[in-house]
Amino acid sequence: MIWLWGLITIFVSLLILYHLYKAFSSRKMVDNIGSRYVVISGCDTGFGNLLSKRLDIMGMNVISGCLTVDGAKKLKDECSVRLRTIILDVTDEISVQKAVAIVRRDLPQNTGLWGLVNNAGVMPHFAPMEMLTVEDFKAACKVNLFGAISMTLNFLPLIRQGRGRVVNVCSIVATTAYPGLSNYCISKTGLKTFSTCIRRELYRSGVTVHTINPGGFKTNITNQKRLESIFRESFDKCSEDLKSFYGGRIAKRIIYGIGVVDTQVSFKPHLVSDAMVHALLSRSPQRDYIVGYDARFFFRPISILPDIISDLLFSWPAPYGERVL
């Protein structure tokens, strides 16, 4: 019996030492930040905008992709002359290839790309799955999944040359499906799986791949009025049968639930940009970053519960419908 306690003591001691080592080493940053280049998509607003400003202050060479001319101009005006903005639509292959050509031209000779941050994303709908069309699912995947895949495949030669890092902004709903966000969940789950696949394929190439999985944060995507508007729009377009099934009490509960979500989201978006910076510049970056209290203490625990329990927790608000035996 003594030998068993000895083994347990050794195991616990090694576990503590490992976590202490990880905590200490993760604080160390890579050298020569000023000579490294990073490309970020989706920088008009939100996390990409914050990250661009943060890295610019740190002295990194930032190339920020913005969807609109106004967004690019505003970001450029708020940063140093070192930061470069480009007009980038991740759903347009020609736009992505033009961005690659610009970056390749701007990079010093024999210098690869250190970082690619696939941040561009949309949440085009908030409604029960039956209210959506196949095109609605394609709309979410076009940006959140295929846009990130296009960016990664096109920039990968430069990333490999620089033995750099790919950082994909996924979501905590990639591991815990959330009712009403089916097309968004599917697109982010696909992105997370893509990240895992490419990380394993490039494991010995010097390229590393990391995912950022935020919970709810106060951004344009989670704006209460916007979510209510897109739900009402989806509801108005659906058939009379669906309106009868989901209408009345359930529709009111969904609207109420959106209001509750709005009060629970974090007002600290810098936590997400902090995780992005760590993924890009730490000597010991994590593979996956879970960001936000709701992600850590609600969604993450639920993801490991038996489905029978998590299904019950997420079943409100839901219509009872007609039970057929």
CB distance 261 to 133 below 8 Å: no
Q: Position of tokens 């007009």?
A: 87
Average pLDDT over residues 224-240: 86
Question: Which of 190, 181, 114 has the alpha carbon at shortest distance from 149?
Answer: 190
The lowest-confidence range among 163-172, 176-185, 206-215, 236-245 is 236-245
Please tell me the predicted confidence (pLDDT) of residue 325.
33
CB distance 216 to 268 below 8 Å: no
Catalytic residue, from 18, 21, 184, 256: name it.
184
Indicate the residue type of 216: G
**pLDDT at residue 33 is higher than 80:** yes
**pLDDT at residue 104 is higher than 50:** yes
The lowest-confidence range among 80-94, 147-161, 194-208, 292-306 is 292-306
CB distance 234 to 127 below 8 Å: yes
Specify which of 199-203, 216-220, 316-320 reaches the highest per-range mean pLDDT: 199-203
Residues 260-273 pLDDT 10s: 666 777 778 999 99
Residues 35-89 pLDDT 10s: 999 999 999 999 999 999 999 999 999 999 999 999 999 999 999 999 999 999 9
Indicate the residue type of 100: V
Average pLDDT over residues 5-9: 69
CB distance 121 to 42 below 8 Å: yes
DSSP code for 28: P
Question: Which pTM value belongs to this model?
Answer: 0.88
Residue-averaged pLDDT of the chain: 89
> Quick one: tokens of 72?
């690019």
Give, for 148, the enclosing helix (H) or strand (E): helix 146-162
The lowest-confidence range among 90-104, 155-169, 189-203, 285-299 is 285-299
**How many angstroms separate the Cα of 203 from the Cα of each of 2, 167, 197, 199, 264?**
41, 15, 10, 6, 38
Please tell me the predicted confidence (pLDDT) of residue 319.
59
Alpha helices for 26-111 (secondary structure H)? 46-58, 69-77, 93-106
Please tell me the predicted confidence (pLDDT) of residue 97.
98
HSE at residue 202, side-chain half, CA atoms within 13 A, is 22
**First-residue to last-residue Cα distance in the chain:** 56
SS3 178: coil
Please tell me the predicted confidence (pLDDT) of residue 322.
42
Task: Decide if 320 is catalytic.
Answer: no
- What is the C-alpha to C-alpha distance for residues 178 and 232, in angstroms, rounded to an integer? 19
Cα-trace Rg, the chain: 22
Q: Residue 242 class from Cβ within 10 Å (0-12 exposed, 13-18 middle, 19+ buried)?
A: middle
Please tell me the predicted confidence (pLDDT) of residue 21.
56
Domains and CATH numbers, the chain: 32-219+267-313 (3.40.50.720)
Average pLDDT over residues 292-314: 89
Cβ neighbours of residue 267 under 8 Å, at least 6 residues apart?
217, 218
- What is the C-alpha to C-alpha distance for residues 133 and 199, in angstroms, rounded to an integer? 33
Please tell me the predicted confidence (pLDDT) of residue 180.
86
Residue 323: pLDDT band (50, 70, 90) is: very low
DSSP code for 87: E
CB distance 227 to 188 below 8 Å: no
> Quick one: tokens of 179?
């009712």
